[in-house]
Amino acid sequence: MPERRPIIRWAGSKRASIGKLKNYWNDSFDCYIEPFCGSAALFFSIDAKKSVLSDLNKDLISFYRNCRRQPKKVWQIATSIPVSCEAYYETRSEYNVINKGIRKSALFYYLNRNCFNGIYRTNKSGNFNVPFSGKNIYKFQSLDQFKLSCSHLHNAELKSGDFMKTLQNSVEENSFVFMDPP
């Protein structure tokens, strides 16, 4: 059986530091809180009774919500798109005109796996504008791996907003806060 892993790439991810970071976590904490969640690498590697994942990026939080609700659908749509330069730019154009929903989250996942360095960047108009990765394509997780990782989101409260508001509304005694600001 595979182990849970972050489902997206993210610039500044702490995936490589998980071994050290996990040493700070233990089961005596009541809640795990990550106000700049990005790939949520530490979250996916621990078992918290209660979690709060937050980020200012609404599309990221919407992606996690849709992965929690319909992981198979998100995965099926994303993996059905050909991995090519042409398909990438067509997908990016479509992503920028869709408001929300499962399809937008699937396109988010596709773009994340195929964009340059897992960067999420938008222009002044709010459009995602990261170029195609070219040779550094990241394979999609298998459906079983993706569903396993997404299942970990069921006990997480997902919030989109300012980190201070998340901290003010979520931190209680015996909370573990992992803050890795951009």
pLDDT tens digit at each of 182 positions of the chain = 578 899 999 987 787 888 899 999 999 999 999 999 999 999 999 999 999 999 999 999 999 999 999 999 999 999 999 999 999 999 999 999 999 999 999 999 999 999 998 899 999 999 999 999 987 778 899 999 999 999 999 999 999 999 999 999 999 999 999 998 76
Q: Are 25 and 169 in contact (CB under 8 A)?
A: no
pLDDT for 142 equals: 94
Angle at 72 between CA 39 and CA 84, to 5 degrees: 70
Amino acid 135: pLDDT: 76
Residues 8 and 109: beta-carbon distance below 8 Å: yes
Q: What is the pLDDT of residue 129?
A: 97
Residue with the two structure tokens 């920028």:
96
**What is the model's pLDDT at position 124?**
96
- The confidence score (pLDDT) of residue 125 equals 95
Under DSSP, is residue 176 helix (H, G, I), strand (E, B) or coil? strand
Written as six digits, the tokens of 41 are 């690498």
User: What is the structure's pLDDT at 1?
Assistant: 56
Among candidates 20, 48, 23, which has minimal Cα distance to 34? 48
d(CA 146, CA 41): 14
| β-pair type (156-160, 175-177) | unpaired
